[in-house]
Structure 1
Amino acid sequence: MVSSPALCRAALLAILLGSSGHTVAAPVPDTLAQRLAACISCHAREEKRDAYFPRIAGKPAGYLYNQLLNFREGRRNYPLMTYMVAHQSDAYLAEMADYFSRLAPSYPPLAGQQASATAAQLERGQALVEHGDAARKIPACTACHGASLGGVQPAIPGLLGLPADYINAQFGAWRNHTRRAAAPDCMAEIAGRLSEPDVAAISQWLSRQPPAAAHVAARPARPLPLECGSMPAAARP
């Protein structure tokens, strides 16, 4: 009996692979986790990580969704992120946000990523985080980000477990108008009221706080001190 061409090709391929000692690789599963594995290479949960890549695991899905939209729509500027989300639909960005929001956050030590700080600087940072500065209409960070600073649903991120350099950089982006959010942009308004020493004090104090006890609150404990466009923008498709 004459074999079919397809069978002949299959037999030839088996002979070639067998003679070379190579094996056929197993197919890669098409899952959301597999597609988003590249994100972990930057937003890793391991100890060795770049100070300017934030942890995203466990943050509110609405917040993550807003940030993906902001990169896609040009309100945030980082070429690699813009390239990755430029042609993604709202629905797919929402899937990505949901996936990372369900991952358990890990907080390895930030040793080597903290600049020296004076006692007076840390005291000032704590005062601003916990009480704000009423004279300059600066609300406490806890008034929006929750008493534990772990974030608030649906769209306010946690502030702990982040390097001081990253926090400084984000405040700088708001102050320089290179980072924006849905209007009204409450963080841009607050950042404009803070002095550079205040920003440094806040970032140094926050980066030194143990994040283990932080948790995402289900809702704000009281009305937010400023109107934030990010809250309604977090309504995902």
Structure 2
Amino acid sequence: MHRRTIESSILFVAFTTWACTTLAATDADAPMPSAMDQRVRACTSCHGVQGQGRDNDYFPRIAGKPADYLFNQLIAFRDGGRTYPPMGYLIAFLPDDYLHKISEYFANLQPPYPNADTGNISPAVLQYGERLVTHGDPARKLPACAACHGARLTGAQPGIPGLLGLHASYIAGQMGTWRSGTRHAVAPDCMHAIAVKLTDKDITAVSSWLARQPRPDDPRPASSSDGTLPLACGSQPQ
């Protein structure tokens, strides 16, 4: 059995255990714990005690991201927009109002950022990644990442996530799922429209450069986007 398959099986068992505990707490005959830090233990057991993320491809940083973004992702896992069985099982029967509370809890946290990636990547690849992130590629009608995710790349309210504090392998993996269509959002799905134009070289360069950026002085999402988004996104108000 492949290592990733074994890891997924172990994670599924762990999530199943947590899911049963969490869902039991939502039963009408079993009162919820009073503190949110107890209610989100199923989340923090994998994403870190403050949602700071883990050093692997499975559990990214969720702390500090806009609440609407986090809520949209929980809905996607619950309703099939994103496919990861442990997450889907964990929240399969959680109502929207509870998912809103979870999202707001993590949106209000700002734990330290992880150390930046330090793998051996050529300067040319990193320069190319920086160019795509900050300027895009007009010839291919590829907008800059910063055009939506903000000049500081910390995201924007109400629902655009930051791109910093994530490992290159996680960023590249998510770009691959957007490109293949196994991850999708409300139509028009702007990330899929962008990702299908990206080559493997593009994804490696962008993810490698982003993962090497230091924590910004102000890691909070901007209060709003810098202006009109370069293309319509069904998940974002225009």
Q: Which TM-score tier does this pair reach, normalised by the shorter chain?
A: 0.7 to 0.9
Partner of 1:217: 222
Unaligned runs of 5+ residues in structure 1 are: 1-27
1:202 aligns to 2:206 (yes or no): yes
Counterpart contact for 1:42–1:49, Cα < 8 Å: no
Counterpart-to-counterpart distance in 2, 1:171 and 1:154? 22
TM-score normalised to structure 2 length:
0.81
Counterpart-to-counterpart distance in 1, 2:82 and 2:54? 25
Secondary structure of the 2:210 match is: helix
Partner of 2:15: none
Task: Write the letter of the residue equivalent to 1:229.
Answer: G
Partner of 1:78: 84
Deviation at 1:176, TM superposition (A): 1.2
| Worse-matched range after superposition: 79-88 or 224-233 | 224-233
Task: Write the letter of the residue equivalent to 1:32.
Answer: M
1:87 aligns to 2:93 (yes or no): yes
TM-score normalised to structure 1 length:
0.81
User: 1:43-122 maps to which residues of 2 (within 5 A)?
Assistant: 43-44=47-48, 49-110=55-116, 114-122=118-126
Change (3 A) 1:87 1:66: same
CA RMSD between the two structures: 1.9
Counterpart-to-counterpart distance in 2, 1:227 and 1:29? 41
Task: Write the letter of the residue equivalent to 1:49.
Answer: D
Partner of 2:193: 189
Partner of 2:157: 153
Counterpart-to-counterpart distance in 2, 1:215 and 1:30? 27
Alignment partner of 1:136 out of 140, 149, 152: 140
Change (3 A) 1:124 1:93: same
Counterpart-to-counterpart distance in 1, 2:80 and 2:149? 25
How many residues are paired up? 204
Q: Deviations over 1:80-99 (max 9, x none)?
A: 11011111111111111111
Task: Write the letter of the residue equivalent to 1:215.
Answer: R
Which stretches of structure 1, 4 residues or longer, exceed 6 Å deviation after superposition? none
Counterpart-to-counterpart distance in 1, 2:42 and 2:53? 17
Q: Deviations over 1:88-119 (max 9, x none)?
A: 111111111111101123212145xx542111
Structure number with greater CO (CA < 8 Å, separation at least 6) is 1
Change (3 A) 1:37 1:110: farther
Deviation at 1:38, TM superposition (A): 2.2
Q: Deviations over 1:173-230 (max 9, x none)?
A: 0111110111111001100111110010000000000023233100111100010111
**Which protein is bigger by CA-based radius of gyration?**
1
Unaligned runs of 5+ residues in structure 2 are: 1-31
Identity, % of aligned positions: 51
